[in-house]
Structure formats: structure tokens, C-alpha cells
Amino acid sequence: MIIVMRAGASEEEISGAIRSIEEMGYRPHPIRGVERTVIGAVGDERGKARLQALETLPGVESVVPILKPFKLASREVRREKSEIVVGGKVKIGGEKLVVAAGPCSVESQEQVLEVAHAAKEAGAQLLRGGAFKPRTSPYAFQGLEEKGLKFLAKAREETGLPVVTEVMESSQVDMVAEYADMLQVGARNVQNFSLLKRLGVAKKPVFLKRGMMTNLQEFLMSAEYVLTHGNPDVVLCERGIRTFETATRNTLDLSAVPVLNEMTHLPVMVDPSHGTGHFQYVIPMALAAVAAGADGLMIEVHPHPEAALSDGAQSLKPSRFALLMERLKPFAAASGRTL
């Protein structure tokens, strides 16, 4: 249910409504909009009609059901797009497009520093890089783990770029959150519900990648896990889904961008690197993502893709990444964005 407060309702009336929701056994999620505050009340679906009685409280305008199965993620509770702040300075979901760039895997301090400086120079605002790697083969490089997180933190110190990096299991959340500014959930973990619940109580924003076999409703239900457990800062990322096509690694589902923008207020980014699997398709699909209304991009960049320990084939050299950033400009402008 959504408890819609009157425009100009007092703080006292808002906290009164919040208390009443709690007393009825539901979790209140106040969402402060430009015009008015609404309070999402989520919990046991049975008996939720009781919440209707809150309509008689002072300051409450109406109590309406949320029709979508994802509640806090839906546009019903918040009409304006959410802006998620990363590292205290980078806003995702605003007018400015946000580009996260960096290697698939953190391989050495030199590699991360080289990419971070080049990415910053070209205009990226976030540094990405995996220290815990979800690999199909148990014999493939699994990541540098905490050492890799330290390399990322050092690169942030030198460049000022906030860091987004993957966390693969609940037991790692505290450690990864100590070094990172944003916690990535990879495609393979999008329905790891215990991890999502744990991230709900983490103090860092979450970068949630769509699973390769996750439809958009399921994707938003995964975001809902994080939101309802207390963390309102979730950014969605389309990274390609599995289809019968083999010319590309995945099929980048760009129609997900306008559809998600209609379904949810959460920012939507696109990863054309995993979406295509081949460096030569990354620029065209990045441009298309921005034209489709994405709030940002995640791009894999490696100084020597041929020697990369993972995903070399889809990684851009720094010079090509700089070309991408240049070519994005007219597309950003045409979509009413700045870069």
C-alpha cells in the first residue's frame, strides 16, 4: 500500500503515519518527493486492507494499493527518477551521463593505475574492476581478492574516481564495502536472495546486473529485495541476455532501457562489453544505449587486451575508450544529457 500524505503535511503527521504503519506490523518506507511525501508500507500481503484505516489520520490524503508485484522499485511509489550518489560525488540518474570504466579483472597495481588514469583522462566518473571473479571454469583466474581491492583503493586515491567492484557472497560484503564505493552484484548472482538481503543492510549503493535469463519483472523483484531490506540505493544494469544468437556473447536487450524507465524510478545503466563480447561492437551499442535513454554505461578497458586474464576480447584499449567518449557527445546531447 502507498500512504499518500497531503502536500504540506507536517513532520509530526508524517512520523505519526510511520508509527501507525509499524504498529500494524508493516515496514514503512518514506519517499520524499518534490511535491509530497508518500510512504510505502510493505509486508505480509494478507490483511493489508487493514492499512486502509490510515486514511483517517491527520495529514494523510489517501491510501492506495500498489498494483505491481515490485513495490518500492515501482513508479507508483515514486514518479521522479531516483538519483543515486556514489562515493559522495557521482550522481547516477541525473542529467549527467555516468560512465564506469576499468578492467574486467584487477590484475596488478600497475594495470589498475594505468587504466584508472586513462579512464579519468577520457571522462569516466567511476572506476570498475573485479577482485572477486565469477568464472565459468574453476581453473580460470578467480581474482586477486583483498589484494585487488587494495589496488582499486589506491587507484581511487590517485585519481579520485569512486570504485565499483563485485561482491559474490554475503560473507564478503563487509570486506568489499570497506574498500569500494559501490557494490556490484553480477549477472550470476542476481537471484542470490541471501546476498541481496545482506546488501539491503549494507551502507553502500548497489550496482545490480541483470541475469542472463532474468526477465524484467524478475530483475525488479531482485532490486526489491535490496530496497525492502533497507538500502534505497540501487542502480540497474542491462548486460545482455541469452538467446539463440551466437555472433555475439549475449544479446544486449536495449528495449529493456525504455521498458525499465517506465516500470521503475531506479537508474538504468548498460554494459555493452558483456552485452556483445567483442570490442568492435562496444562503441555502436554504447551509442545506441544512450539514444535509448540509459543513465550511464559500464565499459571494460584494458591496456593490453590480448594479455588480459579475463574478457580481453571485449575490452577496449584506452585509446578506443577515449574515442567512445568523444563519439558519445552528440548522442548525449540528443538525449538531453551532458557528459
Residues in contact with Mn ion by CB under 5 A are 104, 311
Tell me which residue of 72, 93, 90, 74 sits closest to 82, measured CA to CA.
93
- Does 209 bind ligand PEP (CB under 6 A)? Our answer is yes
Q: Does 25 bind ligand PEP (CB under 6 A)?
A: no
Q: Between 9 and 289, name the residue whose CB sits nearer to ligand PEP.
A: 289
Q: Which stretch binds ligand PEP (CB under 6 A): 4-12, 32-40, 89-97, 182-190?
A: 182-190
Q: Does 274 bind ligand PEP (CB under 6 A)?
A: yes
Q: How far is the CB of 166 from ligand PEP (least distance, A)?
A: 6
The single residue listed with the C-alpha cell 513495490 is 71
Q: Are 159 and 139 in contact (CB under 8 A)?
A: no
| Residue 71 partner contact from ligand PEP, Mn ion, none using kind-dependent CB cut-offs of 5 to 8 Å | none
CB under 8 Å to 138, separation ≥6 — which residues? none
For residues 84-143, which are near ligand PEP according to CB under 6 A?
Answer: 104, 130, 134
Q: How far is the CB of 83 from ligand PEP (least distance, A)?
A: 23
CB of 148 to ligand PEP, least distance (A): 12
Q: Given the complex with Mn ion, which of 165 and 261 has the nearer CB atom?
A: 165
With CB cut-offs between 5 and 8 Å by kind, which of ligand PEP, Mn ion, none does residue 186 bind? Answer: ligand PEP
Q: DSSP of 175-220, one letter per residue?
A: HHHHH-SEEEE-GGGTT-HHHHHHHHT-SS-EEEEPPTT--HHHHH
* Chain centroid offset of residue 223 CA: 9
Which of Mn ion, ligand PEP, none binds 103 (CB below 5-8 Å, type-dependent)? none
Which of Mn ion, ligand PEP, none does 294 bind, CB closer than 5 to 8 A by kind? none
In DSSP terms, which residues pair with 130 in a beta bridge? Answer: 105
296 binds ligand PEP (CB under 6 A): no
Min dist CB 130 to ligand PEP, Å, is 5
Partner whose footprint covers residue 239, from ligand PEP, Mn ion, none (CB < 5 to 8 Å by kind):
ligand PEP
Query: Is-contact 160 87, C-beta < 8 A?
Result: no
Taking the chain, what is the end-to-end CA distance rounded to the nearest angstrom?
38
Nearest CA to 273 among 110, 122, 104?
104
Strand segments, DSSP code E, in the chain are 2-5, 27-32, 37-42, 60-64, 84-86, 90-92, 98-102, 126-128, 163-166, 182-185, 206-209, 234-238, 268-270, 296-300
- Applying CB under 6 A, does 187 fall inside the site for ligand PEP? yes
| Residue 186 sits in the site that holds ligand PEP (CB under 6 A) | yes
Q: Which residues bind ligand PEP (CB under 6 A)?
A: 104, 130, 134, 186-188, 209, 239, 274
